[in-house]
Amino acid sequence: MAPPRAQRPRVVAVADGSPAAAAGLLPGDEIAAIDGQVPRDVIEWRLLVDEPSPTLDVVRGGLSLEVVVGKEAGVPLGAEVASALFDEVRTCDNHCEFCFVHQLPPGLRGSLYVKDDDYRLSFLYGNYTTLTRFTELDLERVITERLGPLNVSIHATDPELRARMLRNRRGATSLRWLRALLDAGITVHGQVVVCPGVNDGPALEQTLAGVLDRYPELATLCVVPLGVSRWSPESSLRAHSAAEAAAVVDLVEEWQALYLRVLGRRLAFASDEYYLAARRPFPAAEAYEGFPMHEDGVGMARAFERELLGEVAEGLGVAPGFFSWVDGAPAEGYRAPRRPPPARGEEATPRLGPPLAADPRPVRVLTGAYGARVLGPLLARLGRADVATLTVANRFFGGNVAVAGLMVGEDVAAALAAHGAGPGTRYLLPDVCLSAGRFLDGTTPEDLPVGVEVVATDGVALRRALVG
């Protein structure tokens, strides 16, 4: 799959009453340059349009025109653009055997097969970068523009093992950039994908020691198990056994105690999937130190518990990241918003059905096999016998894929059919499995055999859907 090509920023929305609207900018306009400079990405775009009265070279219907936007420095332009990167996405030159892109079934939308290793997507969306294609110029830009936090894939601190895992000799040396980023005060989160028999056991211990020795400024280090789909071309890849998962949990917890003594914080966290695979109880909510890696599946279960049981007022949901303040639209094809954009006059968050108290129908919450193990006991604590989970077996990906985020339409439809789904039951679908309103297999909730209500994937939203 070829990476997306370079493209000019294309305006997709202009806010009423904004400086962009006053200057006559229109959706569909392409911006060739701002004050003579061609922005490479939405980060540069933001910096350029932040200037007072920027001059935009606009291409409209094949004609070139100049638009001067009258505004003060720092006043938002009020125009959204269609993508985050205007030059080409930097693709990855690694060949990790555990790469999930290599484990996707054929025929999915093209953007899912793009293996990016672009620090800008790390900054914008929280994607992980191995830094094997990072350069001196990139470092200078990250430091100058303070492009943090960044997420870095570590996997192993032993150079030879890391190069072997990435199947790239530069994997042996690219963590020097991590040291440089930390030296410059950039916040970095690290990740270790653990493959049984490769970087677990003594190798994982060496990595945890290496982090303390060489990268103690890391904000967090999340330790996650590899996912193995039935499409994996690597015969040596296998899921952890329960005993192997328990050994990883034990090791991480042992090192947490050490980090806590030396650094005053736990630093490393095993993901929720590890506790489920090991059949161990999750650590207490406090042990997650504010849930900084919630979106990476670390502490999700405990956070959800607090939210569903009404112990906190707000759900953690999706970290808003950079796009909470930039006036650019999320990139198409990367982390698109879970729901499609609302049509004009439509509410941004569609209304759910009536709360349970007002609706006598039983409720089934659709979720993956792991989600059901977390959610089932929590729903029971709500004291409603008519609310339960409906587990969606993941036949599409197969293997050990059991998280709600990878549920696809055809598996959801099969679970509904097996349940004899009909209008006598309310079905709630977490939006984590959708991207711009579509499942990974390209279908939409409207294609399902019965109507489902899409709810935000946090305990507060689910509680609201259930009890009003």
**Residues in contact with 377: Cβ distance below 8 Å, sequence separation at least 6, in sequence order:** none
Q: Which helix (H) or strand (E) holds 163?
A: helix 159-166
Residue closer to ligand SF4 by CB (options 95, 109) is 95
Q: Is 321 helix (H, G, I), strand (E, B) or coil?
A: helix
- How far apart are CB 236 and ligand SF4 at their closest, in Å? 16
Residue closer to ligand SF4 by CB (options 102, 419) is 102
Site for ligand SF4 in 391-410 (CB under 6 A): none
**Residues in contact with 8: Cβ distance below 8 Å, sequence separation at least 6, in sequence order:** 30, 31, 32, 59, 86
- How far apart are CB 94 and ligand SF4 at their closest, in Å? 4
- How far apart are CB 168 and ligand SF4 at their closest, in Å? 8
Residue closer to ligand SF4 by CB (options 139, 152) is 152
Q: What number of residues does the chain have? A: 468
- How far apart are CB 369 and ligand SF4 at their closest, in Å? 24
The answer to whether residues 389 and 374 touch, using CB atoms and an 8 Å cutoff, is no
Token reading at 246: 């328990």
Residue closer to ligand SF4 by CB (options 177, 275) is 177
178 binds ligand SF4 (CB under 6 A): no
DSSP 85: B
Please enumerate, as own/partner, the contacts of 383-388 that have beta carbons within 8 Å and a separation of 24 or more. 384/356, 384/466, 386/362, 387/356, 387/362, 387/363, 387/466, 388/362, 388/363, 388/364
The answer to whether residues 462 and 378 touch, using CB atoms and an 8 Å cutoff, is no
Residue type, 463: R
- How far apart are CB 140 and ligand SF4 at their closest, in Å? 23
Site for ligand SF4 in 79-138 (CB under 6 A): 92, 94-96, 99, 101, 115, 117, 130
- How far apart are CB 198 and ligand SF4 at their closest, in Å? 13
Residue closer to ligand SF4 by CB (options 102, 339) is 102
Residue type, 62: G
Residue closer to ligand SF4 by CB (options 100, 288) is 100
Residue closer to ligand SF4 by CB (options 123, 304) is 123
- How far apart are CB 95 and ligand SF4 at their closest, in Å? 6
- How far apart are CB 466 and ligand SF4 at their closest, in Å? 38
Residue closer to ligand SF4 by CB (options 101, 380) is 101
Residue closer to ligand SF4 by CB (options 95, 381) is 95
Site for ligand SF4 in 339-368 (CB under 6 A): none
Buried b / exposed e along 149-161 (16+ C-beta atoms within 10 A)? bbbbbbbbbbeeb
What phi and psi values does residue 464 have, to the nearest 5 degrees?
-60, -40
- How far is residue 118 from each of residues 3, 41, 93, 214, measured CA to CA in Å? 12, 12, 11, 23
- How far apart are CB 98 and ligand SF4 at their closest, in Å? 6
Q: Which helix (H) or strand (E) holds 179?
A: helix 175-183
- How far apart are CB 255 and ligand SF4 at their closest, in Å? 24
Which of 342, 358, 359 shows the shortest CA–CA distance to 350?
342
Q: Tell me the β-bridge partners of 13.
A: 80
Which of 174, 180, 183 shows the shortest CA–CA distance to 153?
174
Q: How many residues bind ligand SF4 (CB under 6 A)?
A: 9
Site for ligand SF4 in 220-239 (CB under 6 A): none
Residue closer to ligand SF4 by CB (options 167, 395) is 167
Q: Under the rule (CB under 6 A), what is the footprint of ligand SF4?
A: 92, 94-96, 99, 101, 115, 117, 130
